[in-house]
Amino acid sequence: MKIDLNIGHTIGSTPLVELKSVTAGVRAKVLAKLEFFNPLGSIKDRIGRSMIEAAEIEGKLKPLKIP
């Protein structure tokens, strides 16, 4: 079992699952990406993380500081 250092490290590591039972007879592999496994249950977790990282890189946001 993988243990992450903080909840931010879990964003974007959502699993893919093959949908065999609903695609019987289809000649393609159909996969579902389980975004609800993100900490807040949404694909928006990725967007939020990207916004925070961009603000940190641009110097607009610093750890433990409120703008």
Q: Residue 56's pLDDT is what?
A: 87
Which residues are catalytic, by number? 44
Tell me if residue 53 falls in helix, strand or coil: helix
- Establish if 2 belongs to a structural domain: no
- Establish if 65 belongs to a structural domain: no
Q: Residue 67's pLDDT is what?
A: 59
Q: Residue 66's pLDDT is what?
A: 67
Closest C-alpha among 18, 10, 17, 16 to residue 38: 10
- Establish if 66 belongs to a structural domain: no
The pTM of the full predicted model, rounded to 2 decimals, is 0.51
Q: What percent of the chain has pLDDT over 70?
A: 94
Number of domains in the chain: 1
What is the rounded CA–CA span in Å between residue 65 and residue 56? Answer: 11
- Establish if 30 belongs to a structural domain: yes
